[in-house]
Structures are given as structure tokens and as C-alpha cells.
């Protein structure tokens, strides 16, 4: 006790030395009771003492009134109160707000400054303040949010939850990026909190399902002005449950709501599942479509990746055997003129393959960022294109090119089966003959022969004009066009297809288009690249598709049965090439081919990264 007393005296002395001069300088020596004697019409002593400012003197805010007598005689009058002296963070936010731009001062909201008390998180007080001026938005009071707040639910959104308390930013042009961003961003703050949503009995995966949609992916990529946001469908201030007849998402109002963006919306179109998911009970059609597509992806990749790995290992062993033989016996050729060139593809084939590469790379570069919209690299891609709408335009141009080469393939098939004169046999013989890309019984024998070679159980088979993996690639184009092309057309022209198809077809089309595109890109950039360029006997690249040329030795070793057939038919001379393609031609296409392969492999890496680090 004796030790504490000197410390107490020292503290009081410090207060007298430092606090009193400062108080005198700021006019705090004037007793608030003296002010209230004259200003009791403003506030009573009891009410002021009970307010948050009750511990302050009047001159804490009215700093100019340092001389009470001069003030009483009318010689010294107060100026505008500067709240910034105590409330610096709030004032800074206010200066950046739309209120400041419209000359709304602190006192316009805090008009009860002399009796102001802490609001203690009661959102009802905020609503009362805001609706005092914004009477054009009193419909908020009847909304789901407003009713919940008035009932005392502090989880529900009040004005400040969306617009902030002091830093209320101007929304500007309704179609501006900032405005469109705002109308979705503020909703995500609460609705992304699944615990809060479950606590209040609200749909807990609204944000996830929105982000998985075309609208949400564009928002996530940074282009909210191009798509519908939360408020476009649910409105801003009149958010009501779906069951309410006045709700913008009520069945009776859905066509009108959709028509804000999709002018020709119909009742069928409005059957789209805005928040559709893979929930088996709620959305069985989407669930089974997802299961089917996932099964297709897994089975296709499993079979062909195993095929690729076996081929890779066996090919390395074969190359080592060839090297050992060369070291022991030197370079020998049992075939005369081994480097004599033969034509395998015509210029038309080369050109069509060029279109395939251009369109496929374009579709991949513009489509994968949308698939992996949560990835940073996807945003970089979209920024490179300019924005999502430019990427979509490029995507559709490449889709148009795809339809061109698909139509050409259809015409070439018809010409081969019915018109071409140098192919013997009737329709069935042509369809299943050696020159046809249609699978036949020989392909089963070839597959069995390759498996035996993989397992060191037999020699490497030779092939006819087309191998079984080349036929698979060709057939995949037809399947892919119906799956990717059909679903893509639906998503490209939703209002047209929505005039006679129910809207949930677009949900199915989205799953099919996305997963089939993933299958195509994954297959082309791994399996197809290996089969044509990456296998040990072809690495680093097979240029036959770019120049259409194949040396005699390769012709005999790889497609010996075709060589024998041509030799017996006496038509080999028709396929001889007197000279190889030009240097500039080769340089261009070889550079183009390597660039295409490198881009494809880079996309594979990004896809793997997206699956391992994303929300898929």
C-alpha cells in the first residue's frame, strides 16, 4: 500500500501537468452544464450525459468557443463541426462515398448527434436511417432480407451489408463493369457462407452452382458486364422466395425475368435450371448425364493411356535392338531405293488437316479458360484475347471451320462410297475394304497383334492403308461433331432452341459440351500426339500429314500389306513422287507442326494443374 501511494500521486501529477493545459487550450475548461443552461432546447443534460458523446465537453466538437462570454454576447459563434478530428477512418470512407458527392454530411445521417448511442449491431437502426431518405426503396422492407432484419435476424442483409456504412460507392452506368460487379459481389459475401445459409434454411450451394454456370464463369474471369448476375434474376431490393407470386423467380414471372437478357424467351426456355447441380434426387437428368460422360472419359483414357504406355516401353526396347544391330553390322538396307518417296496424302488431305489443327487449337485456347475459370492462368488467357466476348467470337469462328472440314469429310466419304471410279467393288465392299476408314474384322486382328508385340509374344504387325488407331481418330470426329457440335450449337443459339426444347436441355448440353471437349483435348494432346509424333519410331515428329510424303522403306515396314496390294495391282507407280516438297514449304509446315505440338502439351500441363489445384 505504501509503495502504491507514491505511484498514484505521480499519475495525478502527470495528469495535471499535461492534461489541464491541453484542456484549457481546447476550451474544455467550460462546463457542459453551462452550455445546456442556454441550449436546453437542443438536449437535456441527462440525455447528453447518456449519449456516446456524453464524456466529452461541448467544446470538444465546437472547438472555436474557447471564450464563453464572447459567445454569450454573440461575438464568437461556432462553425461547422469537423467530425474528422475524432473519426478519421469513417471520415476518409465518407469522402470516397457517393454521399459526399451529393453533399450529404455526417449530420444528415447522424442528426441525433447529441443523444446518439451505440447501435450495437442492430441492423434495424440502419434500415430506419437509410429509408428516411431513400423512400424509393422502401420495397426492401417487404423483401425477404428486410422482413428478416425487422424480425431481429442479424444474419440477414441490411442496407450496409451491400452498400457499406460510410464508403458507399457510386454505381455509375448500369452496364458498367463496376455496376455489374457490384450486383453479384455483394451477394457472394453472405451466400458463400454455407454455415450461415444452413442456419437460416437458405439454399446453401447457390454460389457454387452459379460459379459453375456460364454466367458465373464469366463473372469469375472478370467480365460480369457480359452475363447475368445475382440481382438480374433475383432483383436488388425486392428479393422474395420463389413461392411468392411477386418474386422475380416465381414460375409465373420467369419468362419476363429471362427476357431481360434473352428477348425471345419462352416458357420452355425458362425451364432452365439456373442453379442445377449433380444432385441425384433434385436433378436426376443432370446426375446421370454427368455419370455417363465421366464414365466415357475414364474408360477412354484408361484404355488408350495403357495402350500408349505399353507402346512407349516396347518402342524403346525396339529402338535399342535396332541400335545394337547397327553397331554390330553397320547401316544395311535390304530394300532397293529405300528413300524413294511415295504419296500418302493429297494436298486436299493436308489442307483439311491444317484446318483441323487451326480450329482445334483455337477452340482449346478459348474454351479451356472457361472450363477452368477459377485458375489464374485462365484469366491471363482471357486478358490476352481482350475479354470473354472476343474469346467467344474466336471460339465460334473456329467452330465454323470445324463444320467446314466436317462437311468436307462427309462429302469425301460419299464420293468414296458412291462416285469414285478407281475403287473396285460395291457399296459394302468399299465400306469395309482396305481403302476405307470404317472399322472391319482386320482391325481386331491388328489390335491383337499389337498387344502380343507389346508383351513380347509376337512380331510387330504390318498394316494396310489405315491402322486401327487412325480409324478411331476419324470415327471420333463424327461422334465429336454430334456431341460437341450439337451441344455447342444449342449453347450458341439458346433462344432458337429454347423455342421448342425445354430449358434443362441447356444444362445437359453444357455438361456434354464441357466433358466431351475435355475428352477431345486430352485425347488429342496425349494419345494422338503420341501415336503420330511421340512414339519412339517417330519422335520427335512425323511430317507425313504436312507434306503427304512417305519413303519407300517406311512404306514397306509399316504398311507392308498396302504395299503388297498396290504391287499386285500394278498401281505403285501412280503414288511415286518424282521430287520431295520444297524447302520453304517444309520449313513452314515443320515450324507450324512443332508449334502446334508445344501448345498442345502446354495446355495438357495447365489442364492437369487446373484439376489438381482447382475446384473441379
Other residues' Cβ atoms within 10 Å of the Cβ of residue 102: 9
How far is it, in rounded angstroms, from Cα 437 to Cα 433?
A: 9
Other residues' Cβ atoms within 10 Å of the Cβ of residue 214: 19
Residue from 67, 62, 56, 53 nearest 24 by CA: 67
| Per-residue cell: 368 | 479451356
pLDDT band, very low/low/confident/very high, at 313 (cuts 50, 70, 90): very high
Radius of gyration of the chain (CA): 38
How far is it, in rounded angstroms, from Cα 149 to Cα 158?
A: 7
| Per-residue cell: 357 | 489443327
- The pairs formed by 355-360 with CB atoms below 8 angstroms and a separation of 24 or more are 355/401, 355/404, 355/405, 356/405, 357/592, 357/596, 358/398, 358/401, 359/398, 359/399, 359/401, 359/402, 359/405, 360/398, 360/402, 360/520, 360/524
423, 425, 426, 429: CA torsion to nearest 10: -100
Summarised one tens digit per residue, pLDDT across range 537-584 is: 888 899 999 999 999 999 999 999 999 999 999 999 999 998 888 889
Is a pLDDT exceeding 70 seen at residue 6? Answer: no
How far is it, in rounded angstroms, from Cα 68 to Cα 73?
A: 9
Instruction: Mean pLDDT check: name the lowest of 172-186, 345-359, 453-467.
Output: 172-186
| Per-residue cell: 388 | 470473354
> Which pLDDT belongs to residue 137?
78
Q: Where are the domains of the chain?
A: 16-79, 174-261, 284-613
Instruction: Output the CA angle 536-540-546, nearest 5 degrees.
Output: 115
Percentage of the chain exceeding pLDDT 90: 67
Summarised one tens digit per residue, pLDDT across range 63-86 is: 888 788 888 888 888 888 888 889
> Which pLDDT belongs to residue 22?
41
Task: Name the helix (H) or strand (E) containing 393.
Answer: helix 388-414
How far is it, in rounded angstroms, from Cα 535 to Cα 318?
A: 11
Is a pLDDT exceeding 60 seen at residue 14? Answer: no
Measured over the CA atoms of residue 90, residue 95, residue 101 and residue 102, the dihedral's sign is positive
> Which pLDDT belongs to residue 332?
61
> Which pLDDT belongs to residue 549?
93
How far is it, in rounded angstroms, from Cα 446 to Cα 467?
A: 8
Percentage of the chain exceeding pLDDT 70: 94
> Which pLDDT belongs to residue 331?
63
CA distances from 520 to 367, 475, 478 (A): 12, 12, 12
> Which pLDDT belongs to residue 196?
95
Is a pLDDT exceeding 90 seen at residue 335? Answer: no
> Which pLDDT belongs to residue 296?
95
Summarised one tens digit per residue, pLDDT across range 417-444 is: 999 988 888 999 999 999 999 999 999 9
Average pLDDT, the chain: 90
Other residues' Cβ atoms within 10 Å of the Cβ of residue 582: 10
Summarised one tens digit per residue, pLDDT across range 278-291 is: 999 999 999 999 99
Q: Which residues pair with 459 in a beta bridge?
A: none
Is a pLDDT exceeding 80 seen at residue 4? Answer: no
> Which pLDDT belongs to residue 369?
97
Residue 21, classified by CB atoms within 10 Å of its CB into exposed (0-12), middle (13-18) or buried (19+), is exposed
Is a pLDDT exceeding 60 seen at residue 367? Answer: yes
Among all chains, which residue has been given the C-alpha cell 425487422?
A: 150
How far is it, in rounded angstroms, from Cα 358 to Cα 232?
A: 37
Length of the chain: 616
Task: Name the helix (H) or strand (E) containing 427.
Answer: helix 427-431
Average pLDDT over residues 250-260: 96
Summarised one tens digit per residue, pLDDT across range 16-63 is: 433 433 443 444 446 777 788 888 888 888 888 888 888 888 888 888
Q: What is the DSSP string of 501-568?
A: S-THHHHHHHHHHHHHHHHHHHIIIIIIHIIIIISTTTTT---HHHH-EEEHHHHHHHSHHHHHHHHH
CATH: 1.20.950.20, 3.60.10.10, 2.40.50.100, 3.30.2350.10. Which one for 284-613?
1.20.950.20
Is a pLDDT exceeding 90 seen at residue 7? Answer: no
- DSSP character at residue 581: P
> Which pLDDT belongs to residue 462?
92
Instruction: Output the CA angle 361-362-364, nearest 5 degrees.
Output: 65
pLDDT band, very low/low/confident/very high, at 11 (cuts 50, 70, 90): very low
How far is it, in rounded angstroms, from Cα 443 to Cα 440?
A: 6
Q: For residue 342, give the 3-state DSSP assignment.
A: strand
> Which pLDDT belongs to residue 396?
97
| Per-residue cell: 301 | 483414357
Summarised one tens digit per residue, pLDDT across range 114-164 is: 888 887 778 998 998 898 888 887 889 999 999 999 999 999 999 999 999
pLDDT band, very low/low/confident/very high, at 13 (cuts 50, 70, 90): very low
Is a pLDDT exceeding 60 seen at residue 518? Answer: yes
Average pLDDT over residues 368-396: 96
Instruction: Mean pLDDT check: name the lowest of 52-56, 151-155, 361-365, 457-461.
Output: 52-56
Q: For residue 576, give the 3-state DSSP assignment.
A: strand
> Which pLDDT belongs to residue 578?
85
Is a pLDDT exceeding 80 seen at residue 495? Answer: yes
Amino acid at each position: 500500500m505504501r509503495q502504491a501511494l507514491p505511484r498514484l500521486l505521480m499519475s495525478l501529477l502527470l495528469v495535471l501537468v499535461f492534461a489541464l493545459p491541453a484542456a484549457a487550450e481546447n476550451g474544455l475548461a467550460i462546463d457542459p452544464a453551462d452550455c445546456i443552461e442556454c441550449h436546453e432546447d437542443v438536449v437535456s443534460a441527462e440525455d447528453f450525459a447518456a449519449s456516446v458523446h456524453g464524456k466529452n465537453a461541448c467544446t470538444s466538437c465546437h472547438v472555436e468557443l474557447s471564450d464563453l462570454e464572447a459567445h454569450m454576447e454573440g461575438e464568437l459563434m461556432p462553425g461547422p463541426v469537423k467530425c474528422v478530428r475524432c473519426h478519421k477512418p469513417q471520415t476518409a470512407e465518407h469522402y470516397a462515398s457517393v454521399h459526399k458527392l451529393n453533399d450529404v454530411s455526417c449530420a444528415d445521417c447522424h442528426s441525433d448527434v447529441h443523444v446518439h448511442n451505440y447501435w450495437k449491431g442492430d441492423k434495424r437502426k440502419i434500415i430506419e436511417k437509410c429509408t428516411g431518405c431513400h423512400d424509393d426503396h422502401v420495397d426492401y422492407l417487404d423483401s425477404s432480407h428486410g422482413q428478416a432484419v425487422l424480425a431481429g435476424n442479424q444474419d440477414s442483409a441490411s442496407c450496409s451489408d451491400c452498400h457499406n456504412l460510410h464508403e458507399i460507392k457510386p454505381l455509375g452506368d448500369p452496364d458498367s463493369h463496376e455496376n455489374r460487379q457490384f450486383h453479384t459481389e455483394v451477394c457472394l459475401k453472405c451466400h458463400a457462407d454455407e454455415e450461415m445459409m444452413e442456419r437460416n434454411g437458405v439454399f446453401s450451394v447457390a454460389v457454387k452452382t452459379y460459379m459453375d454456370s456460364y454466367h458465373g464463369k464469366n463473372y469469375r474471369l472478370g467480365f460480369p458486364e457480359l452475363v447475368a448476375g445475382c440481382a438480374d434474376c433475383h432483383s436488388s431490393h425486392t428479393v422474395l422466395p420463389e413461392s411468392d407470386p411477386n418474386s422475380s423467380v416465381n414460375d409465373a414471372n420467369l419468362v419476363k425475368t429471362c427476357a431481360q437478357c434473352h428477348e425471345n424467351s419462352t416458357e420452355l426456355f425458362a425451364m432452365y435450371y439456373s442453379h442445377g447441380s449433380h444432385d441425384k434426387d433434385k436433378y436426376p437428368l443432370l446426375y446421370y448425364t454427368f455419370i455417363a460422360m465421366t464414365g466415357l472419359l475414364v474408360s477412354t483414357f484408361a484404355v488408350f493411356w495403357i495402350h500408349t504406355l505399353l507402346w512407349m516401353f516396347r518402342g524403346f526396347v525396339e529402338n535399342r535392338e535396332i541400335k545394337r544391330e547397327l553397331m554390330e553390322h553397320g547401316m544395311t538396307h535390304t530394300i532397293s531405293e529405300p528413300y524413294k518417296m511415295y504419296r500418302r496424302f493429297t494436298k486436299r488431305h493436308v489442307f483439311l488437316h491444317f484446318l483441323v489443327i487451326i480450329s482445334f487449337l483455337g477452340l482449346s485456347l478459348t474454351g479451356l479458360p472457361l472450363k477452368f475459370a477459377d485458375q489464374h492462368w485462365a484469366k491471363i488467357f482471357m486478358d490476352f484475347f481482350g475479354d470473354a466476348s472476343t474469346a467467344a467470337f474466336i471460339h465460334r469462328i473456329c467452330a465454323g471451320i470445324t463444320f467446314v472440314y466436317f462437311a468436307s469429310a462427309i462429302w469425301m466419304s460419299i464420293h468414296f462410297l458412291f462416285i469414285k471410279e478407281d475403287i473396285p467393288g460395291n457399296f459394302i465392299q468399299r465400306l469395309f475394304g482396305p481403302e476405307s476408314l470404317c472399322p472391319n474384322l482386320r482391325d481386331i486382328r491388328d489390335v491383337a497383334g499389337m498387344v502380343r508385340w507389346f508383351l513380347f509374344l509376337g512380331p510387330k504387325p504390318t498394316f494396310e492403308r489405315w491402322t486401327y488407331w487412325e480409324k478411331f481418330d476419324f470415327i471420333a470426329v463424327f461422334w465429336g461433331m454430334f456431341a460437341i457440335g450439337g451441344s455447342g450449337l444449342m449453347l450458341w443459339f439458346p433462344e432458337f432452341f429454347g423455342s421448342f426444347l425445354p430449358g434443362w436441355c441447356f444444362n445437359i448440353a453444357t455438361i456434354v459440351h464441357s466433358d466431351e471437349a475435355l475428352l477431345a483435348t486430352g485425347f488429342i494432346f496425349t494419345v494422338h500426339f503420341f501415336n503420330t509424333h511421340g512414339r519412339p519410331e517417330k519422335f520427335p515428329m512425323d511430317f507425313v500429314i504436312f507434306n503427304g510424303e512417305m519413303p519407300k522403306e517406311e512404306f514397306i515396314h509399316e504398311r507392308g500389306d498396302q504395299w503388297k496390294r498396290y504391287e499386285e495391282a500394278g498401281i505403285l507407280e501412280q503414288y511415286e513422287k518424282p521430287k520431295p516438297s520444297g524447302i520453304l514449304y517444309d520449313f513452314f509446315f515443320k515450324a507450324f507442326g512443332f508449334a502446334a505440338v508445344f501448345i498442345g502439351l502446354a495446355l495438357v500441363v495447365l489442364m492437369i494443374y487446373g484439376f489438381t489445384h482447382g475446384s473441379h
